[in-house]
Structure formats: structure tokens, C-alpha cells
A and B are shown apart, each in its own frame.
Chain A
């Protein structure tokens, strides 16, 4: 079966920078595909080439087996990281304008309902909060009833409540069998929404697979997490795999009971101890030696 989107040997060079360096992958229809990585990893460049906004230095992007063209523009919905809209227009007028740019799509009122914008439909774009504006930008991306939806860091800068609301919206769109391409540097977002992920760093894909599959492949242990100040230097000689991060120390182990006994014997205070399974953030640290948000 032909994938809805295929990226072949993609290279994008800027003067003195290889932003994307030989990336290939394909995305089957109906899944949420996540491109993950820290700032500067090359994910926004990759997604903008996939959207047809940037021209690659080499390689190609195919939509349903064809090079990107008019059909792709009609069937793709895009939410950029940053987009300003026309001043003095209301939410409904903005959506009506964008709806007018496509041959087919949803009724404007339906998009307004879908993105919970009913109470804001008559409001000037300039008077929307950050979360409301993201919902409007998502509505614009949906106005043509796209087969494939690109979301470039859609929740960056939103407060936790607005992020959760946005995730619910994306999940409801997923339920409509749309293909979603998501870039994010929030690993919890990727774990919640994505069926398949590619982790990027330095313009390369360094890991690819389902979130659970990737975690199972790379981790057999669970993590014991302690505040740095609770972990004495003397305990470092203990036979644990110790992972240092900015404000805490993590101990990776397959045998939690033995590990806890050893720590008690070494008089390490366990009052603030937290036991958790590894997540994508740990995976990124494991793969690159770097924390995601540094």
C-alpha cells in the first residue's frame, strides 16, 4: 500500500549549517506520526519541506506517491509554529476567508463547533488568548477537511490547561481517521498522541518506532529518582547505573527491592524517592547524552 507521505534522502543545507542531513521515512495513512527532538534538531525544517514550504537541497517528498502539487495543497492542513492573522477580522470571517481558498472542505460553522470556538466566533482575532488563537489556527488547518494534518509544535507556549484542551482536540481529530504529522519537544505530548515517532538530533533520525516499542527496546529497568541533595557522594561507588540530570539523580535498575535495600544500608534518605518507568525523555537522554530542553 502506498504511504500517504514519503520522505526520501532529504537534505536541507543553509550556509554553514546542515539542518537536515539525509533523512528518509514514510508515514502510513491514518496514524499520528511524531517528529521529536530538541530545538535545532531539524524537525521544523523537515516538516516545512514536507509541507512544501521549503525547497530541499536534495531528496524528495511524495504525497500518495506523487510529488507535492495542487492536490497536496488542497488536501493538507497546516498549523505553523507561529502565524499572525489579518487584523480587524473576526474568527468567523477569518475561517470564511480560508474556506474560500479551497475547492472542498467543511462548513465554517462545523469547524467552529469542532474546535469549540462558538463563543469566540464574533471576536476580533487580536483579542484572543494564546490557547484560543491556537484553536483558531487549528480550525484554519481543518477548514478544508484535510487528509493529512501538520502540527508544528502546536502547544509550545500554552499553559498546562490549554495544552490539555488542545490534546483533547487533537485526539478527537485522530478519531476522524486523519493522518497527523506532529513535531514537539514535549515527550508527554508525543507519548499521549503519537502512534509512531522518529527522534531527530543534529539533522538525523536517531530512533524510529512506536513509543512503547522504543522504550522496550532501549530499557529493561525502572528508574529510582532522588533529589540531588539527598544523594550523598559516597553512594556513587554503589554498583548502580546512575544517571545525572540537572536537579536529580536517577538509578536504573531491574531489581527494585535489592536497590532499595542497598540505598537504606548506605543511609540514603528515601523520603523524596520516586519510582517511575522510563519515558521518551529518558530515551532521548540515553540516545544522545543530552537533555531535551537544554
Chain B
């Protein structure tokens, strides 16, 4: 079994590496995006106050402070969830209005200083909890998003279209006439794409990271684990989509249906902080959201495995479900 698997894996790797145009595009696109977006959105923060409120939803009647104009109040589930955001100046103030009002302010943040004055005017007895920490540059926040987006496209289109092309050209039918099993074929495709994605992501992480002076706070081993599980989940999703379909238009449509919502709501370009709860909930259907949440937690906040365990479990579970469904619905030939 291993010999057959390796034969298909090696051939697929050769095919990808020799396709120079695709290889160069795979590497250059994310570099261009990171550099371009960093340039466009870099520099000083926008003049908008953003205050995190420890609550499931904002009740403007709960405190006069919540009725302040020109302040964007966003619900935050817990103090633990809000503290990294105030530390990295992703929000300007974190308030907990249950019982005696408490608030956390980043003493290194000028906007925190101003919005603190607004709070104390409305709630004079609020207890101050100072924190410190440098602001996360947009480019640092964007970088994991771009890496994730590149992985998503490579996983979904790279695997889905390849399997479809093999099926339409009759190559799968030819393989079916050999002792190769569907499981061996699919595993070889998954492993081939996984190796290529990890390699490309590593090149981008080191290469682009050094250009933009990016420093990951957390464990590299944990990042590799996130990348492996995230890629497996999305490769399996691509295989599932292409497993039994023979129409390029239909596969293209479904892949677009998958990728565009992920592009918009998985947190590649901007945080979903402040967006409606249902949008945040819906975003967590997508593997990319969990990949990015976990990667940013490790890269920016130095999170450990316990903190990102739910994300890792979700990625592993979806990989398993998608692969099982893909193997079950796999077709060697055009019916």
C-alpha cells in the first residue's frame, strides 16, 4: 500500500513543481498582498473609539456611558477574551458594568487615555485596572490572514480542480484499472498537497516575515500543528466537493460559494469584533476562521495548546468528516 501511495504522491509533486507558472503565482500572490495591504493600511490608527463591554449583548440603558456618541461598543464574552485585545490596543477600553463598574485601560495607548475620561464622567466610581502593551500593527494582524487565505485557495482549488481534471481526462479511470484503491489515491493527494502547502507557507512565513519584521510570540511547533490541521481540513473539503462531480462549472461554483464567505467573514482582512453575533457564529462554521483564530492567538498573544484546543479539535473533526464523506462519494470516472 505504501509503495502505491508513494508512487502517486511523488508523481503529483513532480507535476506541481514543474508547473512553474502556478508555482510562481502561488508564491508571489500572498507576498504582493501582504506588502500591498501593509502599505495601504499601515501607519496611524483610525480616529475611532472602540470599547469592549463584557456582556453577551449591549444594553444601552444599563449605564449612561453606553449612550456616548462616536464610540463603538462591542460585546465581549469574558474578561479573559477582552484582555489580549486591550493589551494589543485592538480596543481602546474594556469595561465590565456588572456590579461595581470596572475597566481596563492600556496606559501606552493615547486613545485609551481619552476614552477613559469619557467613562469616568459617566461612571465616576469605576475601578481602574491598568495594563500595558504595544499596539499590534495592522500588517502583523493581516499576515496570518494572508497565509491562511493562501492555504485556503491552494487547498480548495488545488485539490478540487486537480481531481476533477483527472476524472474528466480519463486519468482516474486508468488508475482505477490498477490495484490502487480510492483510499490510497485520496491519501496521496492529501499528503502531496499538504507537503506543498506547508513548504510554501514556511517560505512565506520566513521570507515575508523578515521583510515586514514580523515576530511570532508563541510556539512554532504549535503553529505547525495548526497549519497541518487547518490544511487537512480544507484539503478534505476540496476533495469532498470534487469527489463525485464531473462538471467544471458546478465545482467552480461550489468552490466560489465556499471561498467567498470565508474571504469575507473568516477574519482575513479585518476582525469581526463589533459585527452581529450571528455573523460571528456563522463565521465559525468555516475551518479558516478556526485556523486564523488559533494562529493569531499563538502568533500575537503567545497562546498555549489549552487555549486553542477547541479550534484544533474543530479542524481535526472537520478533516475527518470531510475525508470520510469524500472517500464515500468518490467516483473514478464520469458517469
Residue pair A53, B173 in contact (C-beta under 8 Å): yes
Q: Across the interface, do B15 and A100 meet the contact criterion of CB distance under 8 Å?
A: no
Any chain A CB within 8 A of the CB of B128? no
Contact B18 A97 (CB under 8 A): no
Interface status of B61 (Cβ within 8 A of chain A)? no
A97 B10 Cβ-Cβ under 8 A = yes
CA of A98 to CA of B171 in the docked complex: distance in angstroms? 12
Please judge, given known A-B contacts A88-B15, A89-B11, A89-B14, whether A101 and B173 are in contact too, CB under 8 Å. no
Q: Is the CB of A83 within 8 A of B178?
A: no
Interface size on B, residues (CB 8 A): 24
B333 contacts A by Cβ under 8 Å: yes
Beta-carbon contact of B180 and A101 below 8 Å: yes
Q: Is the CB of B171 within 8 A of A101?
A: no
The answer to whether A73 and B178 have CB atoms under 8 Å apart is yes
- For A17, the chain B residues whose CB sits under 8 A away are none
What is the count of residue pairs linking A and B with beta-carbon distances less than 8 angstroms? 72
A87 within 8 A of B: yes
Q: Which residues of B contact A102 (CB under 8 A)?
A: 178-179
A97 B170 Cβ-Cβ under 8 A: no
Most B CB within 10 A of own CB, among A84, A85, A96: A84
CB of A83 within 8 A of CB of B11, answer: no
Q: Which residues of B contact A87 (CB under 8 A)?
A: 15, 19
A73 touches B177 (CB 8 A): yes
On whether the beta carbons of B179 and A97 are closer than 8 Å, the reply is no
Report B-chain residues with C-beta under 8 Å of the C-beta of A93.
Answer: 11, 14
Asked if A129 is an interface residue, CB under 8 A from chain B, the answer is no
The segment from A32-40, A74-82, A241-249 that touches chain B is: A74-82
Most buried by B among A74, A94, A97, A103: A97
With A85-B171, A100-B4 as contacts: A76 and B177 at CB distance below 8 Å: yes
CB distance from B78 to the nearest CB of A (A): 52
Q: Which of A83-131 contact B (CB under 8 A)?
A: 83-89, 93-94, 96-103
Q: Is the interface of A mostly helix, strand, loop or mixed?
A: loop
Instruction: Point out the residues of chain B lying under 8 angstroms from A100, CB to CB.
Output: 3-4, 6-8, 10
Chain B contact surface mostly = helix
Interface residues of A in 122-180 (CB under 8 A from B): 140, 144
| A201 close to chain B: CB less than 8 A | no
Instruction: Give CA–CA (A87, B180) in the complex, Å.
Output: 20
Interface size class of A (residues with CB under 8 A): 20 to 34
At the interface, yes or no: B169 with Cβ under 8 Å from chain A? Answer: yes
Answer yes or no: A52 CB below 8 A from chain B CBs: yes
As a 0/1 sequence over residues 168 to 185 of chain B, the CB contacts with chain A under 8 angstroms (1 = contact) are 011101111111100000
Which residues of chain B come closer than 8 Å to A51, judged between CB atoms?
A: 177
> How close is A83's CB to chain B, nearest CB, in angstroms?
5
Closest to A144 in B: B178
A76 to B169, alpha carbons, bound, how many Å? Answer: 22
Q: How far is the CA of A86 from the CA of B170 in the complex (A)?
A: 10
* Interface residue ranges of B16-30 to A (CB < 8 Å): 18-19
Query: In the assembly, what is the distance between CA of A52 and CA of B333, in Å?
Result: 13
A83 touching B170 in the complex, CB below 8 Å, given contacts A53-B333, A93-B14, A100-B7: yes
Q: Does A239 contact B (CB under 8 A)?
A: no
By a CB distance below 8 angstroms, the chain B residues around A144 are: 178
Residue in A78, A96, A99 whose CB lies within 8 Å of B177: A78
- B11–A80 touching, CB < 8 Å: no
By the criterion CB–CB under 8 Å, are B171 and A84 in contact?
A: yes
Residue from B3, B15, B170 in contact with A84 in the complex, judged by beta carbons closer than 8 Å: B170
> How far apart are the CA atoms of A102 and B8 in the complex, in Å?
12
**Minimal beta-carbon separation of B179 from chain A (angstroms):** 4
**Inter-subunit contact A53/B178 (CB<8 Å):** no
**In the complex, which of the residues A51, A76, A82, A87 has the most CB atoms of chain B within 10 Å of its own CB atom?**
A87
Tell me the complex Cα distance, A70–B170, Å.
21
A97 surroundings in chain B (CB, below 8 A): 7-8, 10-11
Set B6, B15, B173, B178: member contacting A98, Cβ < 8 A? B178
- 18 A-B residue pairings within 8 Å (CB atoms): A53-B173, A53-B333, A78-B174, A80-B177, A83-B174, A87-B19, A88-B15, A89-B11, A89-B14, A93-B14, A96-B7, A97-B10, A100-B3, A100-B4, A100-B6, A100-B10, A101-B179, A102-B179
Given contacts A93-B11, A100-B6, 11 further A-B contacts (CB under 8 A): A53-B333, A70-B179, A73-B179, A80-B174, A83-B169, A84-B170, A86-B11, A100-B3, A101-B175, A140-B174, A144-B178
Listed from nearest, the 5 A-B pairs whose CB atoms lie closest are A100-B7, A84-B169, A88-B18, A97-B11, A101-B178
